[in-house]
Structure 1
């Protein structure tokens, strides 16, 4: 059985990988994050505190556990925060990746790097893996630079680009578009959403499964991993309202030009998933199926 080390294990994707490993036992897990472990259960896997900005600590943890693969989920992902804190964003997204992949090359560790649809400018989506990148934001720029560092390394690597990941953690602390829309509409708050930006939202469980498949199948190269439905942000929010029978009169559709966001977003991304489906046997949920997964999990959490 292979051993995987996950960076950023306290995040949504990190917790979903932990959940999947504990439920299915297909790989052994070393979960790592900055600070204490926030996952609900501590049994069945190992946890190590690891700050990806502390190179010596990173080296020490990797040498202690000697994983077969590293799944690198840790990053600065808030697009506007990245624009405002460029130095920290670069260090987290680029320098930390360079350090990790150099250690993987040195120690013959399979490196699986999480990237984003924001490396594209949104002019010609949905995108294939070999389409030309042209990021509009500093966040997108750093993720593209990280990809370049991975591709130019001597490590065995795979890059997984993804889009608008949604899901819930056991403590419900991590928000995303689905939880934000549901929470606001339940409280009767006004929800302003753009109707001219298009995405393919990704269920966190689907992305976690793809990461484990990458390890099992020794994936190499770039893969596009997302949900299967291509929708505007406004459509996403209306589908959330439909699923939970919430009042759509609180939803106001707006144009991107009316937003005063510091970082520019691509208009139409989305992915062609054929390569992941063929090579990895990737089977994404539909958006409605993803909402049903969340609904079951929320009911389980509220009943505890």
Structure 2
């Protein structure tokens, strides 16, 4: 089985991170790759882009004889993961894939690729899973989260991903958690959580504070660290909102730990103080993850090769 491999992709609104995994779920050295997501492209361009990056990853495998047993995509919701159909809409990413049977469409295109046909196993699997669920599964498998019975996992980036876990099992439908374990669509202030606790949420706060609207998240963070008052205030307000949102779900679920990952965690020094103050009366341990995609790959490997 040493020459049997899986391809894993963590799909975000800005970037798609990819890796090749062996049959033991280990990442093959020098196969981690970063691709633009092209999430605003039309349907055909996006489907062809996925096929292109799949073939790029297959080409990274150096074994003379090898087999690809499956491809796993960790995709944001809403998404019918069993059928492989995206229902993402209204969040300025992957709109053109709404209602598309991605498994069928990708399989048809891959079968036209010589490199794929040379190495694909029979039968061949394309698996779709929720990215926050895979992050949770990977964190539970590999790090400190396993020390806790009840955990909320959160990914902060282009959107707000979430998963609720009890004793290593992801909970989807129960009275003490939101439907599907998804907080992103929960009503919050004058909209939903996703509009506030995401990159665009931070940029919206920045706009309200008259911070240069052309700055990126990283540039605003760098300015805040240099001591600029308005830029610092952007993250303080974000931390207040994050703490407020978390209390909505911590109160009913009563987790032992909260694990936060995603791109925005790179700015944790600017907002986590406010979060900790908001949660100071809650008996919950806060853990930060700086390896979101890696943990997601680990989770995907288990979904593809249980």
Larger-Rg structure? 2
TM-score, normalized by length of structure 1?
A: 0.32
Higher relative strand content = 2
TM-score, normalized by length of structure 2?
A: 0.31
